[in-house]
A and B are shown apart, each in its own frame.
Chain A
Amino acid sequence: MSTSLPMRKPQRNPQLNAHGELIHLLSTEGLPQPIIHQILDTAEQFLSVNDREVKKVPLLRGKSVFNLFFENSTRTRTTFEIAAKRLSADVINLDIARSSASKGESLLDTIANLSAMQADMFIVRHSESGAPYLIAQHVAPHVHVVNAGDGRHAHPTQALLDMYTIRHYKKDFTNLTVAIVGDIVHSRVARSNIHALTTLGVPEVRVVGPRTLVPGDLREMGVRVCHNLEEGIKDADVVIMLRLQNERMNGGMLPSSGEFFKEFGLTQAKLALAKPDAIVMHPGPINRGVEIESAVADGKQSVILPQVTFGIAVRMAVMSIIAGNEA
C-alpha cells in the first residue's frame, strides 16, 4: 500500500469547470456552499421519485456508468447502482478488487480501455488517496468522475447524504452542534463531513475519541477535540457515530473493543446528555455493542436507515448534475 500515485498540481479546483459548475465530485473540501445546496435541493426532487408508479427518470438515458471498486464495498456500490439505474443509465460493475492490483500507470491504462468502451461516468472507490483525482485529470471532457471513497482522504457522497439528513431533521445548519465520535484520524467520512459542515456554517463541530484516534492537531481543521464522550456529546444536536475498524485494534491503537465501548460506545444513558431532540447517525455498517448500543441504533432518535434512503437520492442528484455539465 506504499505506492503513491503520481499527482499533478491542478491549476484550479478540478471538480469545477471554467463557469464554476460541478463536473466531477472528488471531495467536499473546496466545494462551494451554493453547489452543496444545489445538490441537496436536487436530491429533494429525486426523493419523491420513490413514490411514483414509474420509479425512473430519463436524465441519464443512453449513458454508461462504470462502477470501479478497487476496494470492496458491496453496499456503497449497490447504492450507486440503484441511483444510476433510477436515472436510466446503463450500469457496468467491474470486479476489479479481485483482479490483479491495478496501480500507477496500469490504473490509467484501465481507464483508457474503459473510455474506449464509451464510458460516460466512473464511480471510483480506491484504497489510495487521490486515485479519483488522477482519473479525473486524464478523462475526456465529457467523462465524469465520482469519488466513492479514496484511502483516508474523502468520501464526499457519504458526507453529502449526511448533510441532507441533517438538513431534513434540523432545517438550519447555522445554530447546530455536531459531534463526530470514533476513529476520526483514519476516517474519510469524518474528514469529508468536517469540510461540508464547516462550509455550511455549522458553528460547533466536535470530534470525539481516544487520543490515538483523535489527535489534537485536528484542531487545525476548525473543530473542537474531546477525549471524553460525555463532554463531547453534551447538548449536541447531531451525533455522528463512526464504525470502529477491527484493524485498528490489531494495530495496537486500542486495547480491545470492549474497552472502547466502555469509554466511547453510545448508550441510551450517554445519549441523554445530548439535546432531547438530537439525532443519531452512522454511515454503516454498524457494529452493535462496539461503537453503538442496540437500543440506540434501533431507538427513536436513530436516523440510520433514513440515511440510506436519502443516500440514493443524493447520489442521483450528484450524477445528474455532473452529467449535465461539460468540462
Chain B
Amino acid sequence: MSSTPHTLRLDAEALYVNLLDGVRRLVTADTALVGVWSGGAWLAERLARDLGLKTPHGVISSALHRDDFGSRGMSATKAATQLPFEVEGRSILLIDDVLYTGRTTRAVINELFDFGRPASVTLAVLVDRGGRQLPIEPAYSAARISLPADERVSLDRTDDGRFQFHFEKV
C-alpha cells in the first residue's frame, strides 16, 4: 500500500457522502442496487444500508464477459455474480468505484442481461477518471479526476469498514 500525494487530495469517505446523496435522488421504489465486484459491491452494500432499501443489493462480476479474455485469460478470482432478486422488469442502478474505459461496465451489462431483461440500467460511480473507450456515461459521479494512463486507482475497505483509495503504477 504505497501512498502517494493523490491520497491526500482524494478523500473516499467524503466522496461517499456525496455519492449517497446522488444515489438517493436516482433511486425509485423498484430500484435495485447492483455493485460491480469488488469496490462497487462494498459501496452498494453500504448505500443499501444507509438508504434503508427493501430490495437487497446485488453483486455483479465482469469475469465471464470480459473482452480481454483472449489476452489476459481467466482471472483467478472467487468473484461470482449474486443477484438476490428478479432482474426481469426491474430498474437497475449499477454502482462502481472507478469508471475509466467503460469496458467493465459493458461486460457487467452483458452479464446482467443473462439473468433477464431489466426495465432500465443506470450507473453511479464514486470517481470518473475519463478515458472512455465506449459510449458509456454515468448518471452520477461524486468526483471527476484525471490520471496518467500508467496509474491505477481503486477502492480499499479497511477492517472497520472505512473506504480509502489505493493508487498504483501499472
Interface pair B76/A53, CB less than 8 Å apart: no
The count of chain A contact residues (Cβ–Cβ below 8 Å) is: 21
Closest residue on chain B to residue A57 by CB atoms: B64
Closest residue on chain B to residue A48 by CB atoms: B80
Interface pair B80/A321, CB less than 8 Å apart: no
Q: How long is the Cα–Cα vector from A54 to B110 in the complex, in angstroms?
A: 11
Interface pair B80/A44, CB less than 8 Å apart: yes
B119 contacts which chain A residues (CB < 8 A)?
A: none
Which of B73, B79, B80, B114 sits near A324, CB closer than 8 Å?
B73
Is B124 an interface residue when CB atoms closer than 8 A count as contact? no
B110 contacts which chain A residues (CB < 8 A)?
A: 58
Interface size of B as a range: 20 to 34
Interface pair A52/B76, CB less than 8 Å apart: no
Closest residue on chain A to residue B66 by CB atoms: A59
Which of A45, A53, A320 sits near B80, CB closer than 8 Å?
A45
Closest residue on chain B to residue A46 by CB atoms: B64
Is B85 an interface residue when CB atoms closer than 8 A count as contact? no
Is A325 an interface residue when CB atoms closer than 8 A count as contact? yes
Closest residue on chain A to residue B111 by CB atoms: A57
Interface pair B113/A45, CB less than 8 Å apart: no
Is A29 an interface residue when CB atoms closer than 8 A count as contact? no
Is B133 an interface residue when CB atoms closer than 8 A count as contact? no
Interface pair A324/B69, CB less than 8 Å apart: yes
Q: How long is the Cα–Cα vector from A317 to B114 in the complex, in angstroms?
A: 19
Closest residue on chain B to residue A35 by CB atoms: B76
Q: How long is the Cα–Cα vector from A58 to B62 in the complex, in angstroms?
A: 12
* Residues of A that sit less than 8 Å from B by CB: 21, 38, 41-42, 44-45, 48-49, 52-54, 56-59, 317, 320-321, 323-325
The 8 closest A-B pairs by CB, nearest first: A324-B73, A54-B114, A57-B64, A45-B80, A324-B74, A321-B74, A38-B76, A52-B114
* Residues of B that sit less than 8 Å from A by CB: 61, 63-65, 69-70, 72-74, 76-82, 87-88, 110, 113-116
- What 20 new A-B contacts, CB under 8 Å, besides A56-B114, A324-B73? A42-B76, A44-B78, A44-B80, A45-B63, A45-B78, A48-B81, A49-B64, A52-B114, A52-B115, A53-B88, A53-B114, A54-B113, A54-B114, A57-B64, A57-B114, A58-B64, A58-B110, A59-B64, A59-B74, A324-B74
